[in-house]
A and B are shown apart, each in its own frame.
Chain A
């Protein structure tokens, strides 16, 4: 019992970084062979993690209350404009549209690049690693944004669906749109774990390549499916913009 208590005090000092170097080294040596001591250390680490987690939760709750006030008051301001002001603004906007409508519309036309940049959410390699415990070379290169290296992996004899997706993405990132489209099409039209990812990036490839009709068709399909992984990315606003680009 005494030994347990002694060990515990020693481990707390170790955790707090307060052990002299010689004692620290001796303890680390013991930890390598003493399983019970290691477990005792883990228990203490978990306890400190508990208090840190509690602190973070409290801090977030505090900032959350502040920020909800700020963010909601912003929205409220928008809605609290009086009716008269709103009508006046509506009339002013109508007059503006009547006078310079067509020209302004032309001048403000959307660019596919801008819309692409607004809609693009990069594929999270580390977040969806699949069943492999280790990160592949292709994933590693993609994370480092070394798109050339990813594309270079095409020569591999066997490519997993995820590899093909990353190659397609690398082509998309480097503006080799035909090739990106070809990779995404293969994935999007076959049964695999990354089919929905491929559909989303295929629609963005079409958009970047100014194939608006194809982009729109695919985006509408994704938007119509609430359980699609990228459903939230394609808001009505985005679809309306693509429609405009498609001249519809």
Chain B
């Protein structure tokens, strides 16, 4: 039960998320290493247990996406970076809830830059439900093909082995059709489109 728990250096964590290897283990390590500290910040600043958990999930999603997009390459330690993300996302959440503290004005000034700010991450958080809905609308088959290909980096051959299609070309055509459908759906949701685009160009 108490099996060995893998440990990772900062460089190893970045490499895992960049190359999509051992990502579950890397995530578990990050929970063990950072959840207490980050949730304490939320607790100490008007948050409750559920807030701390929600914000930590947002931090993890944002961090992984930034690493995958090549936007975080270890310029500061992961601990420092996560602390900063957690703080900014939580302050934005407070602001969103209309319980902004006096500190906020200063925070706004500090973060007035072109980078992917917590603001945009938070908007993305709000758009999370839209995204879920939009992907669900694609249907199970499309969702599966796109996830296998673009998220899990599986080859057409591997995908063919898990889905009931005649040959690779059929899978390829289906994948293109699904991606076009998704592209159309995302383009109609301006806020979501803008936020996703933010992750792209570093």
Contacts and interface: CB of A to CB of B under 8 A. Distances in A.
Given A49-B200, A226-B45, A124 B131 contact: no
B97 interface: no
Contact of A48 (B79, B88, B131, B150): B150
Given A46-B196, A46-B197, A122-B76, A131 B113 contact: yes
Contacts of A50: 131, 134-135, 182, 186, 192, 196
A127 interface: yes
A45 B32 contact: no
Interface string A121-149: 11111111111110000000001000000
Interface residues of B, number: 67
Interface string A63-74: 110111011000
Interface in B67-102: 68, 75-77, 79-81, 83-85, 87-88, 101-102
Contacts of B109: 130-131, 193
A96 interface: no
B182 A47 contact: yes
B167 interface: no
A43 B187 contact: yes
A95 interface: no
7 smallest CB-CB distances across A and B, nearest first, come from A55-B151, A232-B41, A227-B103, A227-B101, A47-B183, A67-B31, A127-B84
Given A44-B183, A125-B75, 19 more contacts: A8-B176, A8-B180, A46-B193, A47-B179, A47-B182, A51-B150, A53-B61, A57-B132, A64-B57, A124-B81, A127-B80, A127-B81, A127-B84, A129-B113, A129-B115, A130-B110, A133-B113, A143-B76, A227-B102
